[in-house]
Amino acid sequence: MRSLYVKFVVVTVGIMIVSGILAFLISNMYYQHKLKPLNDQKNTTIALEIATFANEHPTINLKEYLDHLSEVGYQFLLVDHTGEKSFFGASFRDKTLSNTTKEYVLNGNIYHGILHFPQGTFVTGFFANELKNTIGVPLTHNGKSYALFLRPDIKLLFNEMHLLFGWLLALTLLLSIIIVIFSTKYLVKPITKLTKATKSLSSGDFKVELDTTRHDELGELSKSFHGMAKKLEQLDDMRKEFISNISHDIQSPLSNIQGYTNLLEQESTSPKERSNYISIINGEIKRLSILTKQLLLLASLDRNEDILTKKPFQIGEQLKEIIRNYQWWINEKDIMLGYSLPDTEIIGDPSLLHNVWDNLLTNAIKYNKSGGSIDISIEDRDTFVLVTFRDTGIGMNALESERIFDRFYRVDTARSQTIEGTGLGLSIVSSIVRLHGGQIKVNSKEKEGTTFRVELPKI
């Protein structure tokens, strides 16, 4: 039983067998406690009516009367005081009956053999064609006393029903097993597909085909699995893109550093050129340092939420300080800056949130146009603070807006005036905001500008 299909079939058939046995035992109990006394009472009433009729009609031939009754579905034994026995109807399989029982009935008592028949199985209790399994009543005819023992002729009355129920039971079991075998295959088929899909995923093939049209639990599972496969494919693409980008972002400055170092070794290099080369090398080193710090910060944010060190602080004052730090750059690009930064206290990590505001402001400056504008505002809501950065820069299309928080994703450099960046800043921003229990949204239009909205809980 290695496969789920075989296990399901065996378990289902086993359940059917166990259920059948339990149903048989419960039915037997019901027969013993309910039906058996009713059957005894019914046959006792019939036997007494026969005895009464024989007693009230002394002119009839008793044996002929009983012989006629046996033809409609009864078995009889007639015993007199001398011990003479007369059987009518079908023969009893077991004709054993104690003399004490015969004397008991001859003395005017009723023998409840059906009621007191041994508590056996259902079949034995109802179908046992034994003389002990009868009703015995006293009968008087023409002044002579008899003991009349009676039971229904089950074979005569229910022979066709025996065959019907026998075929019904056999066909029910056979058809049930056949239906279980085929229906189980239908039920297990989606799971088999899921197993194959899992193996495909483990081998790196994310193009899985599953039946997502079902409206049951397996359909929901298939939909969830299909969605997971797509996400894994996206993650794999991001991983490959991440490796490619990080390799490029590290290799490019290293190549520049090596190239300019070789130029510095040449004796023909003038002092002015040397100074320029050294400045370029320092810039590339700074670029590598920023990239390394951002990677370490991003790794820390992914790995451990305990990195947060929360405390109360004024978010308005923090933003004003960052604006002062970049005032020279704002003036250099002739950007009009407007802000509304009321004193607003929140509980958060000042150091990490400093990264958020620093990144959003530098992006607003970098991707803005000369003579453009930047507007920064803080709105104090009931349970959260809304910080908005709005600029009139180059903007983004819908696809870029969706991917702007992906790691190493950069807006088309042809439109961004070839401004360099690591592509990690906004990913870090998104992670920090998420760790604070907040959310960040972006709304952007090409050539019109971009708006970032950051919602942070106050506590």
Q: Classify 76 as helix, strand or coil.
A: strand
pLDDT over 60 (residue 7): yes
> Do 376 and 389 fall within a single domain?
yes
Most confident of 148-157, 264-273, 316-325: 316-325
In a domain, 63, yes or no: yes
Domain edge (last residue) among 273, 301, 329: 301
The answer to whether residues 134 and 244 belong to one domain is no
For the stretch 104-135, pLDDT in tens is: 999 999 999 888 887 555 555 667 888 999 99
Element (H, E) at 324: helix 315-325
Domain end position, chosen among 119, 140, 160? 160
Of 254, 283, 301, the last residue of a domain is 301
Say how far apart CA 428 and CA 443 lie, in whole Å: 19
Q: Is residue 243 part of a domain?
A: yes
Which pLDDT score, from 0 to 100, does residue 382 have? 83
d(CA 344, CA 339): 14
Residue 207 lies inside a defined structural domain of this protein: no
Cα radius of gyration rounded to whole Å, the chain = 48
pLDDT reading at 347 higher than 60: yes
Burial class (CB in 10 A: 0-12, 13-18, 19+), 115: middle
Residues 6+ apart with CB under 8 A from 48: 110, 137
More confident residue, 375 or 295: 375
Q: What is the pLDDT of residue 1?
A: 41
Alpha-carbon distance 330 to 372, whole Å? 10
Same domain for 244 and 156: no
Query: What is d(CA 112, CA 213) in angstroms, rounded to the nearest whole number?
Result: 65
Query: Does a structural domain hold residue 405?
Result: yes
Mean pLDDT score across all residues of the chain = 83
pLDDT of the residue at 222 = 77
Has residue 75 got a pLDDT over 70?
A: yes
CATH of the domain at 103: 3.30.450
Q: How many CA atoms lie within 13 A of 357 on its CB side?
A: 27
Q: Please tell me whether residues 12 and 141 are part of one structural domain.
A: yes
The three-class DSSP label of residue 60 is: coil
pTM: 0.49
361 and 404 belong to one structural domain:
yes
DSSP string for residues in 170-197? HHHHHHHHHHHHHHHHHHHHHHHHHHHH
CATH number at residue 241: 1.10.287.130
Residue 211 lies in a domain: no
Where is average pLDDT lowest: 11-15, 114-118, 140-144, 299-303? 299-303
Percent of the chain at pLDDT > 90 equals 34
Q: Given pLDDT bands bounded at 50, 70 and 90, which one contains residue 422?
A: low
Same domain as 359, residue 252: no
Residue 245: inside a domain: yes
Say which CATH number the domain at 308 has: 3.30.565.10
Of 189 and 388, the one with more pLDDT: 388
Question: What average pLDDT does the segment 253-274 reach?
Answer: 85
Quote the number of domains for the chain.
3
Residue 447 lies in a domain: yes
Q: Which of 22-31, 103-112, 335-344, 381-390 has the lowest mean pLDDT?
A: 22-31
pLDDT grade for 416, boundaries at 50, 70 and 90 = very low
Q: Is residue 20 part of a domain?
A: yes
Say whether both 38 and 124 belong to one domain.
yes
Q: Domain check: are 316 and 221 in the same one?
A: no
Residue 414 scores a pLDDT above 50? no
pLDDT for residue 417: 40
Q: What is the pLDDT of residue 168?
A: 75
Query: Based on the domain organization, do 45 and 124 belong to the same domain?
Result: yes
Instruction: Indicate whether 309 and 280 sit together in one domain.
Output: no
**Domain range for residue 89?**
4-160
Select, from the ranges 14-23, 186-195, 298-307, 414-423, the one with the highest average predicted confidence (pLDDT): 14-23
Residue 448 predicted with pLDDT over 80? yes
Q: Are 14 and 23 in contact, with CB atoms under 8 Å apart?
A: no
Indicate whether 423 and 315 sit together in one domain.
yes
Choice among 207-221, 335-349, 367-381 with the minimum mean pLDDT: 207-221
pLDDT: which is higher, 182 or 401: 401
Question: Do 56 and 78 fall within a single domain?
Answer: yes
In the predicted model, is pLDDT for residue 407 greater than 90?
A: no
**CB–CB of 154/129 below 8 Å?**
yes
